[in-house]
């Protein structure tokens, strides 16, 4: 199928993009990498009257590392997240997850802002944003606001974005724990994950678990972070018993989507297995470091 007719705009800077979005309100949609919007247009699931192409807004393709946060511009491509040394150094969990998105061509075009706005419950970048406590910087007719990723993502493809607004950046707080892992399972290489697990933690002076963060993608309508389980694991030794307890607690807490193709019980078992795998891979990486 071909898209329904629309007017194409290519603003040269953020101010022009915002004024176009403001002028056309709910009839306008921003276009970033086009990797999700393109298919939606072709299938006529989206029928915007105006398409505002962001690809000349090079000021939004940026990575800024400070002492207290990393700010990533909304137009930063998955490929850059996976490969840029400053991202790999400051947010290795984000880099590792970005490297697993789709195929090479998709990572070359897809952007972090587009992925968050699209809000697929199985997508990697919303999961990492929720797990690491990131916030979104959003510009619009009322000025600029900052909203936590966990509040921004409301349900499947439903986000806290109003007419005329644009995500300009994501802000990831620092520091993050030095141990981390991203594990996922998909049926074919390049497919969206059925379940994914993001893990980040540190060790205290006695080697015990500190500042654990655990997130799950693909199990419910939004990525989940599990703060109660994180708190229960604080101060425990990073050993086999703790890993098994953690995985069992996660499996008992989640309420996965149920479908004929992927029954809830299957997703639950996958989650449990992936938590064990993630923890072990974080520890293995530490040993190899």
Ligand X SMILES: Cc1cc2nc3c(=O)[nH]c(=O)nc-3n(C[C@H](O)[C@H](O)[C@H](O)COP(=O)(O)OP(=O)(O)OC[C@H]3O[C@@H](n4cnc5c(N)ncnc54)[C@H](O)[C@@H]3O)c2cc1C
Q: Is 178 left (phi over 0), alpha (psi -120 to 50) or beta?
A: alpha
CB of 111 vs ligand X, minimal distance in Å: 3
Q: Given the structure tokens 């090079």, which residue do they identify?
A: 58
How far is Cα 248 from Cα 235, in angstroms, rounded to an integer? 18
CB of 80 vs ligand X, minimal distance in Å: 12
For β-strands 166-173 and 135-140, DSSP reports them as antiparallel
Q: Does 131 bind ligand X (CB under 6 A)?
A: no
Q: Does 217 bind ligand X (CB under 6 A)?
A: no
Q: Which stretch binds ligand X (CB under 6 A): 142-150, 159-167, 198-206, 276-284?
A: 159-167
Q: Which stretch binds ligand X (CB under 6 A): 61-69, 110-118, 230-238, 239-247?
A: 110-118
Among positions 82, 130, 166, 170, the unique one binding ligand X when judged by CB under 6 A? 166
Q: Which stretch binds ligand X (CB under 6 A): 121-129, 201-209, 225-233, 241-249?
A: 121-129
Q: Does 76 bind ligand X (CB under 6 A)?
A: no
Q: In the window 31-70, what residues touch ligand X (CB under 6 A)?
A: 31-37
How far is Cα 92 from Cα 84, in angstroms, rounded to an integer? 10
Q: Does 150 bind ligand X (CB under 6 A)?
A: no
Q: Which stretch binds ligand X (CB under 6 A): 80-88, 100-108, 260-268, 281-289?
A: 100-108
Among positions 101, 179, 249, 278, the unique one binding ligand X when judged by CB under 6 A? 101
Nearer to ligand X, 153 or 233 (CB): 153
Q: List CB contacts of 225: < 8 A, sequence separation 6 or more.
A: 130, 131, 150, 213, 214, 215
Strand partners, 183: 197
Among positions 167, 176, 250, 276, the unique one binding ligand X when judged by CB under 6 A? 167
- Residues 57, 13: contact at Cβ < 8 Å? yes
How far is Cα 39 from Cα 174, in angstroms, rounded to an integer? 36
CB of 46 vs ligand X, minimal distance in Å: 7
Residues in the chain: 289
In which order are the strands placed within the sheet that holds 28-31? 7-9, 50-53, 28-31
Structure tokens at 6: 């629309």
CB of 114 vs ligand X, minimal distance in Å: 2
Sign of CA dihedral 243, 249, 251, 253: negative
- How many CB atoms within 10 Å of residue 60? 24
Task: Mark residues 172-211: x for contact with ligand X by CB under 6 A, - for none.
Answer: --------------------x-------------------
CB of 189 vs ligand X, minimal distance in Å: 10
Among positions 117, 209, 238, 254, the unique one binding ligand X when judged by CB under 6 A? 117
H or E element, residue 169: strand 166-173
What does the binding site for ligand X look like in residue numbers (CB under 6 A)? 29-37, 74, 101-102, 106, 109-111, 113-115, 117-118, 123-125, 161, 166-167, 192
């Amino acid at each position: 199928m071909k898209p329904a007719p629309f007017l194409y705009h290519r603003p040269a800077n953020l101010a022009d993009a915002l004024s176009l979005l403001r002028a056309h309100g709910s009839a306008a949609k921003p276009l970033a990498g086009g990797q999700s919007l393109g298919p939606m247009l072709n299938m006529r699931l989206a029928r915007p009257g105006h398409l505002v192409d962001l690809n000349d807004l090079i000021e939004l393709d940026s990575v800024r590392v400070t002492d207290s946060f990393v700010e990533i511009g909304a137009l930063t491509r998955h490929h850059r997240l996976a490969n840029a040394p400053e991202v790999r150094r400051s947010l290795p969990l984000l880099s590792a997850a970005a490297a697993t998105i789709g195929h090479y061509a998709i990572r070359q075009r897809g952007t972090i802002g587009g992925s968050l706005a699209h809000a697929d419950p199985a997508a990697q970048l919303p999961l990492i944003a929720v797990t690491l406590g990131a916030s979104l910087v959003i510009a619009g007719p009322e000025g600029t606001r900052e909203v936590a990723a966990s509040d921004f993502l409301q349900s499947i493809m439903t986000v806290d974005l109003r007419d005329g607004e644009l995500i300009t950046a994501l802000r990831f707080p620092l520091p993050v724990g030095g141990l981390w892992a991203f594990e996922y399972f998909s049926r074919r290489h390049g497919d969206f994950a059925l379940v994914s697990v993001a893990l980040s933690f540190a060790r205290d002076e006695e080697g015990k678990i500190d500042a654990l963060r655990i997130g799950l993608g693909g199990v419910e309508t939004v990525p989940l972070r599990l703060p109660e389980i994180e708190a229960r694991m604080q101060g425990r030794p990073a050993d086999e018993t703790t890993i098994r307890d953690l995985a069992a607690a996660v499996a008992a807490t989640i309420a996965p989507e149920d479908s004929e193709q992927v029954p809830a019980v299957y997703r639950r078992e996958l989650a449990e297995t992936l938590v064990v795998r993630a923890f072990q891979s974080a520890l293995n990486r530490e040993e190899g470091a």
